[in-house]
Amino acid sequence: MTMYSTNEFKSGLKVMMDNDPCSIVENEFVKPGKGQAFSRVKIRNLKTGRVIERTFKSGDTLEAADVMDVDMQYLYCDGSHWHFMSPETFEQYAVDDTVIGDAKLWLKEQDTCIVTLWNGLPLSIMPPNFVTLKIIETDPGMRGDTSGGGGKPAKLETGAVVRVPLFIQTDEIIKVDTRTGTYVSRAKE
């Protein structure tokens, strides 16, 4: 099995810790004036989502996590589970609400997203960075509204609520950045 030394730690690296797959969120190398150097690392447990902070002495190693990031297509939601399919193998995976988290606010049927698999089980879902969604409800715009200043809340077809400029109307299609949950621009159908 592959091992990573503390000098190879970087954000996004997937490692095994306490028999759970984890992802390094933040890594800080500390060289005190006296004593041995060490790395202060923030690690997210991919199964539970909890973030913990650990300290590793210089030269310590961690085992690489056997996880894969796979592009999958979102098929449908049956109320309790979200269903995804691998476009290469046509294998289907069912994911519950705890795994999908906030990604459900940005997914439309047929969207392609990144699913992290560990031992054949989905651990996390990452939606595309930008999605185009239809506005189903927003306050009407008044004449003279411009793109500058203010904004208003708009409810999207997936249930997410984003702030949009005053000139945006109901039934328009907009582009949204899923990483920040913000309006980017109008989109063509």
Structural element, H or E, at residue 51: strand 51-57
What's the confidence (pLDDT) of residue 41? 92
- How much of the chain, in percent, has pLDDT values that exceed 90? 17
What's the confidence (pLDDT) of residue 189? 66
**Average pLDDT over all residues of the chain:** 86
Q: Confirm whether 3-63 and 130-186 share one CATH topology.
A: no
Using the predicted structure, report yes or no on whether residue 134 has a pLDDT greater than 80.
Answer: yes
Using the predicted structure, report yes or no on whether residue 53 has a pLDDT greater than 90.
Answer: yes
CATH architecture type of domain 67-126: Beta Barrel (2.40)
Its pTM stands at 0.71
What are the sequence ranges of the domains in the chain?
3-63, 67-126, 130-186
- How much of the chain, in percent, has pLDDT values that exceed 70? 94
**Which of 146-150, 158-162, 165-169, 185-189 shows the lowest per-residue confidence on average (mean pLDDT)?**
146-150
For the domain 3-63, what is the CATH code?
2.30.30.30
Over residues 149-158, mean pLDDT = 84
Q: Per the structure block, which two tokens stand in for 3?
A: 């091992």
Distance linking the first and last C-alpha atoms of the chain:
48
pLDDT tens by residue, 67-120: 888 899 999 988 888 899 998 888 998 888 878 878 888 888 888 998 888 888
From residue 102, how far is each of 41, 106, 144, 158 by CA, in Å? 25, 8, 35, 11
What's the confidence (pLDDT) of residue 144? 58
Phi/psi of residue 132, nearest 5 degrees: -110, 125
> Of the CATH numbers 1.10.10.60, 3.30.1490.150, 2.40.50.140, 3.90.105.10, which one belongs to the domain with range 130-186?
2.40.50.140
